[in-house]
Structure 1
Amino acid sequence: MTTDLPGWARAALAVAGGLCLWLALPDIDLYPLSVLGVALLGVAVWGARARGGFVLGLLAGWACFVPALSWSGIFVGRLPWFALATVEALYVAVMGAVLAAVQRPLIRAGRPLVASAAIPVGWVLQELVRGTVPFGGFPWARIAFSQADSPLVRWAALGGAPLITFAVAVVAVPLVLLVVTRSLPRTATVVAVATVAGAYLVPVPTEGEGTARIGMVQGDVPRAGLDFNAERRQVLDNHVVGTEQLAARTDDLDVVVWPENSSDIDPLRNVDAADQVQRALDAAGTPVLVGAILDEPAPAVSNASLYYQPGGGAPQRYVKQHPVPFAEYVPYRDFFRNFSDKVDLVRVGFARGEGPVAFTVDGADGSYSLVPTICFEVAYDGLMREAVRHADEQGDPSVLVVQTNNATFGYTAESEQQYAISRVRAVEHGRSVAHVSTVGVSGFVHPDGSSTPTTDLFTAAQPSAEVVTRSGLTVSDRLGPWVEIGCALALLGLAVTARRARPRQVVSDDEPRPLEPKGAPE
């Protein structure tokens, strides 16, 4: 059994594994490489000590996250980019240490198949922790989010994004065992083949109870960068004009959706902004969902979705529940200012919304709900699940809406990465998704994860489509985080098994016994 690889070979395998995980992500989209990436890191860590596993995981994490998160440093510089990549890589490092600690005694006891079970378990739990702590975590660039075009994405309907990650790692296990044992265990191979084949048997809906006719306005901004909204009135005007163009071209829409930050002038307090929104409402003749920044609750502000209806009256609202640390608020500002003065670009903190909301649309094909989420919220499993559950309790079929603003990330892969997450969510929750950005990428996703043609970056566009509306909950929605709970229990069981597998030191009667200290109890 191969456990004596030299350090340089292990390091090379770890780096190669991390690069494969990056190449699997959009916008490169070589999703089969995710299996190879997990396998390469699995071979690198195989038989290593915990300290070595930590270093190898860190190398793999850097190799993945430095290029995958390069968009985070486009306008704020290299230090925040590398800091974020390093923090994300540390989770992979800890996973490497845990894998090594659990696997090593099992390998030495001649139980490689049991040891290999730690690989999919470790990946699921690593992504769980990475997407939870600190400050709510940052669940970006997960293995699951590279699989929007893979048949394995269908497992999302049963266990969400965690089950996709688990499936990818399960398929990688036979490759690891083939290298380290010079054989291909039948059990691991059968399980891997069943994982791929079984994905095609998971029911993924394409039809619904009705249809929704939705238009979206990608208004574009005067310039990319941190000051994308320096001309806030121009951005608002772009979306008003886009709505007028959409209405002139299409007269049978149920609702028009604007992206996040489409009105950074508070339309509830600024008369001029309110007039512009009314101008869009008059042109559309339908409800308009506006992404707005509200000057409340003072001294904070709110990132909100405002649902305006043509009949007038105050709009209904949804407030973003998960503000992004260091982008929408800065924890421990004085401390982090020591590393970058860019923290002071966030002058006012964003308030946290109280819970999910579903807006009722009286469509031509019957009423349905719009379920809004804002920007990075789409990456959080629990938040999306609670939003769908809340909408289902209302009784109407629904459509998920993702309002985002990608102007601060320039011409990078961030927009494609986020759109891929929406595609995974469509399968996970059995819902159509209307994904709209100020600058792109925007498009409509069907409940099976397939997509309409998407818009180009930094180009004004007004896509529209008829998508199905659906009610009910998927198995994933009903069971919640069952995959993570199962993996936590499995890791506990593996740790106990590994402890029992450790060879015990036996002292023979012919060998001198250690002296006991005087006064020791009998």
Structure 2
Amino acid sequence: MLTRTIVRGPWRGAAVAVTGGVSLALAFPPAGLWPLAALGPALLVLAVSGRRPRAAFGLGAVFGLAFFGPLLWWLTNLGLLPWIGLVVVQALFVGVHGVLIRELLRLRWWPVAVAASWVAIEAVRGRFPLGGFPWGRLGFSQADAPSLPWASIGGVPLLSLLAALTGSALAWTLLSGARRRTGLVVVLVAGLPWMAGGALPAPAPSDRDLTIAVVQGNVPRGRTLAEQVRVRQVTQNHAEATLKLAEDVRAGRAAAPDLVVWPENSTDTDPRDNPAIAQTIRTAVQAIDRPVLIGAIVRQDGRMFNVGQLWLPDRGSVAEYAKRQLVPFGEYVPGRSLFRWVQQLQYIPRDFIPGDGDGTLDAGGIRIGDVICYEVAYDGLVWSSVNAGAALLVVQTNNATYMLDGQRGETLQQLDMARVRAVEHNRPAVVASTTGISAVVRPDGSIAAMTEPWTQQVLVERVNLRTTTSVWLSPWLELLAVLLVVAGLGAAVVDRRLRRADEPATLR
């Protein structure tokens, strides 16, 4: 079923693609205009409809540049080259998506197939290359949307599917030439699940509460990346904030926490090799007299790990979780010899080694699911912790590098991911950052408390632990989406051949 072309001319198509990409970027923080998560995909369909494959790829890539460029602008704190490289790679995936849309528009059920293509492309680019980059999935823009409760059933893929399906229905009303009333009905029917997620029953609460303290020690706001890397007082800042918390607890000004969380890189050295740093941490842990989860860089047998390290009073460091999903060109350099000319990579003189395990730590009977920084974007990593019994999700992060110029995009986007994860797994979530934004998130995705950037602040909040797990359908939905796209492409090929066979010989 071929649809008509309503955006004629290459420049008009490019303008629509750019408008769609920018609109989709605005659906994410810092703007956070979540309804645009449906408008962006709709405009991409309009841009590629009726185009040849090469043009569809080009318009899809233009859409991707206009989307990922603003979305990832915070990466320019590391330099223009990393930003350009990542944006271009991700835009190529959207280019492929444009070709898929162009082919799937031949189907009678193309709105469903095109929505499935969004989920399928997100699944692929979230895994490839170099472990993938799941940032910018439609579902991560929906932390404030009515559809958020659907995450408890189908996770991020279902949130993406609902937004994309609404966008497809909107595009269908324009491309099919449907009457106004018919088009309105189609959009409302397709968009109803997207808008009615709040009608889902809320999971039952647990009878166990926990008081959490999140320590944001703050870091000096260096004007350059080099100055930021040379910071050595971060550990002292977090220890001082914890000591002040201990004083407030003794004076009755703050509730005694059951667990204290420091962020990623709250010490950038191995406490086992630095007696002064170890003593600073030990003093703070003894003062608060509770388990404290810190972030550290440790060295073992000549290898470096980025870890969450659990300290107990009178015992010191007792367990640690090593980050499993490392950042390419951030924590290790693939093909290092090929990139010696990139100046920014001098700040990564040695490669980190990925850890293993399920990401859980036992803090005095409290099972923690620890994910470090952008690991929160990976479905399987978070699920592995919950599946292993974690009752609390902890996101340790260090956002300072991406906030040097005052941007909040990266830290707010990461916070929204944690909110989606809280609903997806029916768990409270804690985001601990060196300088912001730190937060405590309830299992329904709402924010109990949060800090401001570039401030030293301690959050003390009581959260309700959960032991029941949601039905986790994320990988099955992604597989179903891929199968739908493959089936749709097969049907489109058959349709094209049948049409050619029916053409008079003189028209061939």
- Length-normalised TM-score, structure 2: 0.92
1:214 maps to which of 203, 212, 215: 212
Structure 2 residue 401 is matched with structure 1 residue 408: yes
Contact kept? 2:286, 2:314, Cα under 8 Å:
no
1:156 and 1:251 map into 2 onto residues whose CA distance is 32
Instruction: Trace 1:64-463 onto structure 2 (pairs within 5 A).
Output: 64-74=67-77, 76-103=78-105, 105-106=106-107, 111=108, 114-183=109-178, 184=182, 188-189=186-187, 191-205=189-203, 207-224=205-222, 225-226=224-225, 227-232=227-232, 234-249=233-248, 250-298=254-302, 300-338=303-341, 340-362=342-364, 367-391=365-389, 398-410=391-403, 411-412=406-407, 413-463=409-459
> Cα offset for 1:198?
4.4
> Cα offset for 1:88?
1.1
- Counterpart AA for 1:286: R
Residues 1:194 and 1:511: Cα distance change in structure 2 (over 3 Å): closer
> Cα offset for 1:315?
1.7
Give the equivalent residue in structure 1 for 2:465: 469
- Counterpart AA for 1:243: T
- Counterpart AA for 1:255: L
Identity %: 38
- Counterpart AA for 1:168: A
Residues 1:348 and 1:504: Cα distance change in structure 2 (over 3 Å): same
Structure 2 residue 42 is matched with structure 1 residue 39: yes
**Paired residue secondary structure (1:217):** strand
**Paired residue secondary structure (1:456):** coil
> Cα offset for 1:67?
1.0
Give the equivalent residue in structure 2 for 1:487: 481
2:203 and 2:117 map into 1 onto residues whose CA distance is 31
- Counterpart AA for 1:444: V
**1:263-315, Cα deviation, whole Å (9 max, x unpaired):** 112112211111011111111111110100002241x3110111111131542
2:316 and 2:70 map into 1 onto residues whose CA distance is 48
**Paired residue secondary structure (1:416):** helix
1:18 and 1:473 map into 2 onto residues whose CA distance is 35
**Paired residue secondary structure (1:473):** coil
- Counterpart AA for 1:401: V
**1:304-338, Cα deviation, whole Å (9 max, x unpaired):** 11111113154211000111110000001122335
Gaps of 5+ in 1: 393-397, 514-522
2:76 and 2:316 map into 1 onto residues whose CA distance is 42
Residues 1:8 and 1:231: Cα distance change in structure 2 (over 3 Å): closer
Residues 1:14 and 1:223: Cα distance change in structure 2 (over 3 Å): same
- Counterpart AA for 2:489: A
2:399 and 2:240 map into 1 onto residues whose CA distance is 20
> Cα offset for 1:205?
3.1
> Cα offset for 1:458?
0.9
Contact kept? 2:120, 2:481, Cα under 8 Å:
yes
1:504 maps to which of 471, 491, 500: 500
> Cα offset for 1:504?
2.6
Residues 1:482 and 1:316: Cα distance change in structure 2 (over 3 Å): same
**Paired residue secondary structure (1:475):** coil
- Counterpart AA for 1:235: V
- Length-normalised TM-score, structure 1: 0.90
**Paired residue secondary structure (1:52):** helix
**Paired residue secondary structure (1:458):** coil
- Counterpart AA for 2:396: Q
2:23 and 2:91 map into 1 onto residues whose CA distance is 15
> Cα offset for 1:230?
1.4
Gaps of 5+ in 2: 249-253
Larger radius of gyration: 1
**1:417-457, Cα deviation, whole Å (9 max, x unpaired):** 11111001001111000111000000100011000232111
> Cα offset for 1:507?
8.2
1:38 and 1:327 map into 2 onto residues whose CA distance is 31
> Cα offset for 1:252?
1.6
**Paired residue secondary structure (2:367):** strand
> Cα offset for 1:361?
3.4
Give the equivalent residue in structure 2 for 1:516: none
Residues 1:469 and 1:93: Cα distance change in structure 2 (over 3 Å): same
- Counterpart AA for 2:327: V
> Cα offset for 1:197?
4.9
> Cα offset for 1:63?
0.6
**Paired residue secondary structure (1:449):** coil
> Cα offset for 1:12?
1.1
Instruction: Trace 1:4-23 onto structure 2 (pairs within 5 A).
Output: 5-23=8-26
Contact kept? 1:217, 1:239, Cα under 8 Å:
yes
